[in-house]
Every structure is written in C-alpha cells, then in structure tokens.
A and B are shown apart, each in its own frame.
Chain A
Amino acid sequence: MQQATRVSAGVNDFAIKLANVNGTGSASANGLLMQSMFRMGLPVSGKNLFPSNIQGLPTWYEIRVNHRGYTARSLDYDLMVAMNSQTYARDVQEVRPEGYLLYDSSWPLDPELLRDDVHFLGVPLAQLCNDAFGDPRERILMKNIAYTGSIAALLDIDIAVVEALLGEKFEKKPALRDSNQKALHLGYDYAKEHFECPLSFHTEPMQANAGKVLVDGNTATALGCLYAGATVAAWYPITPATSVMDAFKEFCEQYRRDPETGRNNYFILQAEDELAAIGMVIGASWNGARAFTSTAGPGISLMNELLGLAYYAEIPAVVIDVQRVGPSTGMPTRTQQGDILECAYASHGDTKHILLFPANPAECFEFALKSFDLAEKFQTPVLMLSDLDIGMNDWVVPRLTWDSSYKPDRGRVFGQEELEKLKKFTRYNLTDELGVAARTLPGVDAKGAYVTRGSGHNKLGAYTETPDEYQEVIDRLLAKHKASADFVPAPLIENREGAQFGVITVGGCDLAVREALDLLEERGIPADSMRIRGFPFDQRVEAFLANHPFCFVVEQNRDAQLRSLLLLETAVPKEKLRSVLVYGGFPLSARHVVEGILSRL
C-alpha cells in the first residue's frame, strides 16, 4: 500500500489493530483498552469492524491515538494483535513496515507467514491462562484481558487506570474482578519481563479530554429523544439501529417512571415490521405526541409508503436512520451513507423530506432534539441520517449540555381558544408565512374535527379530484419544504488562505476530511470546506458552490448521492462537482480523501 499520507508513529501517535474471533469476549477487552487511553487524556478513537454473526467469525477493533486530534480511521497499523488464526495471513500483511505483531506464542507461528520487516512479539496467552484458570470459558475470556495487559506494558498505558476501570465494571462481581485483574497482570508482567517496554510509539498522559465524554451515537440519539419529550417510540429490531431503542428504553425506565405511581410516561411499541413502526409514529403524532422510530436502510425502504402519507397529510414524524451498507440486506454491520437519496425523496409521487446529518454523537443528541422541533413546526417527516460508525462506536465528544430555557416547538396547533375565534375550522388553508397550516388534535373540540386523508384533498381538507384544488395543496407543500431550509442545521464552512477549490462532505466523513484538508495544506494545496448538515439546502450552500471553481464531494456511497442531491437541488453545474467515493463498508480514512483528491486534481 502506498504510504502517501503516513505520519510516523511516536508518542501519542499510533494505531493498533486487534484481530479477534467474535463472541469470545474480545469486544469488552478492546473497549477497556480504548477507554483507558481516554482516561489518560489522549485523543483516541475505537472502531469496531464486526461481522453480522453471533459467534465464530472474524472481527477487528482499531484504536487510533493522535495528539493532534486526528482520530479518523488510520490505515497504518503500528501494532497488530493477531488473535485469529483464520485471518492471520491477512493481518500480518496489514502491519506497516517496521511495525509490531503480538501473537499467542502457545503455538508456533507458520514460518511462511513471517515478515522480515515486522517485529513479532510472542506472548503465550493460552498457556498463561490455562495455567491460571480452570474453567474453559474463563480461559478463553481471560486471554483477552491478558493481551490487554501486555499492550498496556508495551504502550505504557497507566495500569492503575486499567485496574480502576475493571474495578468499576465488576464492582458487584468481586470474583470476576479478581480474575480480570489476575489476567491483566499475567499479560502485563510477561511483556515487561520479555520485551523492551515501552515501544518507541507509546502513550504519555495528556489533558486533551477535559470537558469531554466517551459515548456512541445511538445512546446520544436516544438521549436527545428523551430530552425532546418523545413519549411514543415504535420500532422493529434492526442492526445498527437497535441500540437506539435499547438506550431509549433504559433512559425511560430511569427517568420517565413516575416514582409515586410507578406509571410509565412513555410507550415503546415493538412493531411487527417497519411498515407498522412508522404507522404507529404517525398515529401518535396525529394525536399530538412526540413520536419517533429508529431504523436502518431496509426499514426506510418499507417506511416509504407511509412517509408519503405523513408528508401529504402533513403529520409530524421523526425517523432515525442509522445507515448501513445496502442495497438489500447488504452488509448489516458495515457503515455507509447510502440512504441519502432514498430519504430525501422517500415515497411515490412528488415528495421531499427534511434531512439532518449528524457527524458525531454530540450532534446526534443535538439533531435528534432538533428533529422533533422541525417535524412539528413543519408538520412533516424529519429523517436524521446517522450511520453505523457514528451510532455504534464510542466517540470522544464535548460534554453534552442542556439549555434549561428550551421549550419544545409544537408548531401551529389550534386549541379551543383559537377555534373559538373561528367561524369554521378547515385544515389546510389557515397558513402562515412558511406555508404551514394550523392543525387541530383529536379529543379537544368537535369544532376542530376533520378527516385526515392520504387521498387527494383541497385546502379545506375535503376530498378532491379537481386539478386546481390538488395543485394548490401540493404546491404549498413544496413552498413549505423550501422554507424549512433556513431552519435545518446550517452547513459548517471553513475557509483556508489561498484555497483554489472546495471540499464538500457530510456526516461521519467529517474527521477524515478535516485531517485530509490539513495534510493537503501541508503539501501546499489548501482547500475550503463545507460540511452539509441539513436538507433542504440553504443560501450558504448555494453561495459556497457558486464561489468555488470546482468542488470535491466526499461521501460514502457508490452513486455519489450527496453530489446528485446538490445537482438536483441547487444551481451548480454538473462539471463543477467531482466525487471522492469510499463505500466498502469501513469508516473513512484521511488517506482515502487525500489520494482521491490528488488523483482528480
């Protein structure tokens, strides 16, 4: 592999990759390692590259530490922890020249797979654990903690921090805590005794994480929904969105159960499918509740039908789409940004939706909250497009804050007071300057009653098959959608001195693109950048496109969906937009972006 963008490893600047078998307990050991580095104050990221399987298939975990804050996925592995014989041959090849490979030396290495330019560090993990533990399952589990100990020694990770974490994790299970501590020291002591510790690249405590937290996007999304006051949530289990609802349920059990009555101020409906899940959200929103569903691409496909109903009948609905690799079942545990076009125009007929694109868990919290305000303000579906990388990996983000003066925007809902002033209420003609018509809720006043319908209706809400009456309503919907551009999160624009072109990106590409922009500038190629955070696009997007002779659009799908959306929805000519597309399913790396841009300049 070309080493074009390599920044040499050093103190607080390295990447490690752990190759494991899934279902063997490696995930918690790897998370422990990453969390320890977070607690040491280091800018760090952890990426779980896992299979759609319960036990037995290859799984990897990548940790990157970078004192400059570059924590997008690295492709240069300084240390490989090769714990999976199935993938060993491939894993050996991925170590960068002069890098290290830690393996279980209880068994001999295949000499054919040795590399002269890689340092092999053998730790007899199985043997150590077999000698120390009796139970077969425990022996397997503890091997993971043992290599964690060895890595701690090799990278000079503060062992007290690791111990403290184990202590917290197994606070109520002292026996487990003790075996974990024991295993940790087996690996730690062995490494200290047999290798020159630390390696040239290693950790040193920093203060980069003051005011920061470690959280995954799905948890943050669920928290945003909780704080937004969502009371009805409907869903169908699907990777990688399931943990949104798991977290929402946990939060609700803790914060929404009335301590006096034991009653639940929430209703989570596990639907029979996504057709039903979105139906439930629409039913609840029609009744005036804040309601949402969480899903992934296959669920969005099924929800298309009723998203059209909600759009046309003007009913709020919040949809959290944690994108995964499509089409079809695709690769459920891999990440992609492949639902952009599907979500923008979901459903048959002329439909357009409001989209929000968070780039990290902090924005997941913020945008989830925002989704409800926008859905109710504009009486329409709002889709928040997260992805597997953001949703399921732990990210270091600024501590979430809450503005106590926040009041939910419930939109234009007429109650008895407003109805009293009217001679007669009709549904779709009492519009404001944004094109939003006042609605009423069931159970309030017979005067506000009307029939909501997905069939042709005129501005009074009555059934129609008359062209003019139909068009009047559908044209207002377009105007309303356009008006929402000023209310979705604004694009983040960064200008650099001497920039010759722009780089446009979206969502979870953010970190890799920002690192790439620095790398390009170091090579004397400064570029301006714009991260799209909402759709419809506002004037700032138009201006950015107009002000640059050409722009690269960096996104994670085959068909350049963001680029297509820009071409369809702005005045930019086709030849001005060049694509950098990475869509194999693993998170984006700065090298992809730099190489992609350099090859098309």
Chain B
Amino acid sequence: MPSIVKPVATHPSLQRNELGFTVRDYEGGMSTLCAGCGHDSITAAIVRALWELAVPPHMLAKMSGIGCSSKTPAYFVSGAHGFNSAHGRMPAITSGAAAANRTLTYIGVSGDGDSLSIGLGQLCHAIRRNVPMLYVIENNGVYGLTKGQFSASADIDSKSKRGEPNRMAPIDPVTLALNLGATFVARSFSGDKEQLVPILKAAFVHRGFALVDVISPCVTFNDHSSSTKSYLYTRKHKVEATESNFVPKAQEIVAHISPNGHGANVTMHDGSVVRFTSLPANYDPTDRTRVMDYLQQHTGTGEVVTGLLYVNPSVPDMHEMNKTPDIALTEVPFEKLCPGAEVLDKLQEDWR
C-alpha cells in the first residue's frame, strides 16, 4: 500500500544515461500488485526502455484507465505526470492530451478488460486517429480486481480457476489493430524482457500509434494448468516469429543477418532503426497483408506468436494530418489565438 516506500539509496557505480540519470531515476512507487504478477516485469521493462532511450522524465506522460494494469504507471518514472483515469477511457483522454501537447512522450498502460471490453471502441478509434503513443496491453485473460471473471481475450476452452471453461471467441488485439490500420503492432511476453525492451524502445520512437500486446500472467486467478494465459502455457507455446533489435539514431548499423537468412532494417521516422535479425520465410514486417496472412495461418494452432510483427513508419500521425505546429498548442501565445477587436467588428459586417 502507499505506506510502503522504496529505499532511496543509489549505488554509485550505477550506469548513467546520456541525461545523467540512472535506471533508478526511472522507477516509481512500490508496486501493490501480487507477488509474481507479470505486470511488474513489464513495468521493469518500461523503466529499462525509457532509461536507455534517455527520455527526460518530465517529458513523459503516463496514462491509464482502471484495473490492475492501470495501477502500474504509479510504479515507474515518478518524475512524470500520470493520469489514472476511468475504466476504458484512457485512449480518448490521451488523444486530447496529445492534441494539446505533441512534445510529450505518451505511454498508455491498459489491460484486456480496460481495452477489449469497456474501452474497445476507444482503442479502435485511437488507432484510426493514429495518436502518437505507446499503448501497452498487459494481457492476462482475466479480471483481477473483481476476482477472476473471464475477459474478452480469454481463449475458447481456457478454464477459470474454478474449472469453468470459456466458450466465447477471444478478441485478439494484434489482429484487431492490424485490421484497423495500426502502424506498429507487436506481441511479447512479460517473462521475456530481452524481447520486450527493444520492442518498447521502437514503440516509443514510432511516430504514430504503437500497440504492444504483452501476455502477462495473473498469478492469482489465471496461472493454473488449464489456462492458456499462464506462465507455463506461454513459455511452452511462445513462437518468436520475428527477432529484432533497436538501434538508436546515432549508432552505426551493422548488418546482421540471422542463420535462416531473412532479415531487414526498417528506418523509423526519427532516424533510428529497427533491425530484424530473424524473420519467417516470405515475411515482410512492413507488408500488412503478409503479416496478416502469417497470423491467419497461426490462428487456432495454440501458438503464441510474438515479436515486432508489423511496422510502418511512413503513415502520418494525427498531428501531420491536422497540420499542428511543431510546438505544443499550449505554448501558442494567447495573442495568436484571439483574433481581437478589429476582426470581431469586421466579421459582424456579415451579420446584417
């Protein structure tokens, strides 16, 4: 609970990023989630990614809705403003926030209940709008805070803790996002930080909406043997469809092609590069149709397809579509916003 405070001591040998911050500077309050919760691992990956990217803490905006996942923005980057808003409404609130200030880096943390049920409409429209934000779904197939109901991402025949099977088809955020025209789509696993951190970094620099679905087992309600969102199931069935690194803007890109021979470099809008070191045969991570074909072929096999699956850095985000100035709208001086007395007089000439 909030009374639990993290120790402030920082080891002098801790590495510093280009802003001079240690990784501790990207941490937040103590987590109040269950011990072993996948969400805490994701929080750690977010901390790592932000530290490595050297995002100034105060230039980050941490957005969330309601649920276990939505509590987590309090657990990273305490130097950033956070908004733990209302259930399923984070996408709209972030859309408005982003419209007002395009210079901040936005991360929205959500869960499968928050995103795929109560907030499904808002998620879809934030994707359509191409809001520049990293949208993380901490996906565990279950409602935790209300004690174990199925969520919309629960697989058919996956069972609840009490043994009750789910009969309804799941909503898969990855295929949904691709269908809606999302420009960055990835899936990962909370237990695979090595895969997750570079994906998060690429997602942060992506110029539009980046969806990262992270399977994040619920140790209390959905980590049993008949669940398809358990640690064990995910580890067993996880298929790393693509492998990728993130190379920041300034670094030299060394070609590294995986043993199977399929690789690709995708230059992001800011000049950084996502280097795919392994891809399936005939797979192009910038070709939506092929990605969807691949996912279609793997649907219903029980496999959990992971990796940075699709990226398209060339689609304009909402600010380019709106022709918003480069500075935040909140920085435009009032004198520029208010047309003044003379204009008011003149425009009323038409009101006769």
Interface residues of A (CB under 8 A from B): 35, 38-39, 213-215, 223, 226-232, 234, 255-256, 258, 261-267, 269, 271-273, 275-277, 279-289, 291, 305-306, 309, 399-404, 406-408, 440-455, 462-464
Contact = CB atoms under 8 A, between A and B. Distances in A.
Nearest to B125: A272
B81 A262 contact: no
Interface in B294-352: 322-326, 328-330, 332, 334, 336-341, 343-344, 347-348, 351-352
B337 A265 contact: yes
B93 interface: yes
Interface string B85-116: 11001011111111111011000000000000
Given A231-B337, A400-B344, A289 B78 contact: no
A288 B122 contact: no
Contact of B73 (A399, A448, A451): A451
A452 B70 CA distance: 12
A406 to B, nearest CB: 8
Nearest to A451: B82
A258 B323 CA distance: 10
Contact of A269 (B62, B74, B95): B95
Given A269-B99, A450-B81, A289 B339 contact: no
Contacts of B219: none
A38 B73 CA distance: 59
B271 interface: no
Given A400-B344, A402-B344, A449-B78, A264 B339 contact: no
Given A452-B84, A455-B84, A463-B2, A280 B330 contact: no
Given A229-B337, A261-B325, A452 B83 contact: yes
Contact of A281 (B91, B96, B129): B96
A351 B38 CA distance: 37
B261 interface: no
B86 A305 contact: yes
Interface in B65-81: 73-74, 78-81
Contacts of B36: none
A402 B340 contact: yes
7 contacts: A279-B89, A282-B96, A283-B98, A285-B100, A289-B99, A440-B81, A463-B74
A255 B78 contact: no
B99 to A, nearest CB: 4
Contacts of B101: 287-289, 442-443
B208 to A, nearest CB: 16
B92 A442 contact: no
B121 interface: yes
Nearest to A365: B344
Contacts of B336: 258, 265
B132 interface: no
Given A286-B97, A442-B104, A276 B122 contact: yes
B122 A275 contact: yes
Given A449-B58, A455-B84, A229 B324 contact: no
A174 to B, nearest CB: 20
Contacts of A280: 92-93, 95-96, 99
Contacts of B92: 234, 271-272, 275-277, 279-280, 283
Q: How large is the interface on B (under 10, 10 to 19, 20 to 34, 35 or more residues)?
A: 35 or more
Contacts of A262: 323
B141 interface: no
A140 B109 CA distance: 58
A457 B352 CA distance: 53
B337 A283 contact: no
Contacts of B57: 446, 449
**Residue from B84, B95, B326 with most neighbouring chain A CB atoms (10 Å):** B95
B46 interface: no
B12 to A, nearest CB: 21
B156 interface: no
B80 A442 contact: yes
Contact of B325 (A265, A291, A447, A449): A265
A444 B81 CA distance: 10
A215 B349 CA distance: 11
Contacts of A256: 337
B96 A284 contact: yes
B133 to A, nearest CB: 11
Contact of A267 (B78, B99, B103, B124): B99
B61 interface: yes
B96 A232 contact: yes
Contacts of A263: 323-326
A228 B125 CA distance: 29
B327 to A, nearest CB: 9
B59 interface: yes
Contact of A213 (B84, B89, B352): B352
Contact of A275 (B59, B89, B332): B89
A264 B324 contact: yes
A218 B44 CA distance: 50
Given A214-B352, A231-B332, A443 B93 contact: no
Per CB-CB distance, the 3 closest pairs between chain A and chain B, nearest first, are A283-B96, A279-B92, A280-B96
A476 B329 CA distance: 32
A229 B347 CA distance: 17
A227 B330 CA distance: 15
A227 B100 contact: no
A267 B325 contact: no
Contacts of B84: 451-455
Nearest to B129: A269
B80 A449 contact: yes
Contacts of B78: 449
Residue of A39, A287, A399 with most chain B CB atoms under a 10 A cut-off: A287
B78 to A, nearest CB: 7
A223 B338 CA distance: 10
A129 to B, nearest CB: 29
B94 to A, nearest CB: 6
B343 to A, nearest CB: 7
Contact of A399 (B82, B85, B348): B348
A382 B174 CA distance: 39
Contacts of A445: 58
A255 to B, nearest CB: 4
Given A226-B339, A404-B340, A450-B82, A443 B100 contact: no
B2 A462 contact: yes
B161 to A, nearest CB: 26
A285 B2 CA distance: 27
Given A282-B93, A402-B341, A443-B101, A273 B329 contact: no
A406 B78 CA distance: 37
B93 A286 contact: yes
A264 B323 contact: yes
B340 A283 contact: no
B344 A309 contact: no
Given A213-B352, A214-B351, A451-B83, A265 B329 contact: yes
B334 A443 contact: no
Contact of B97 (A38, A287, A407, A447): A287
Contact of A289 (B2, B125, B329, B344): B329
A279 B348 contact: no
Contacts of B85: 279, 282, 309, 452-454
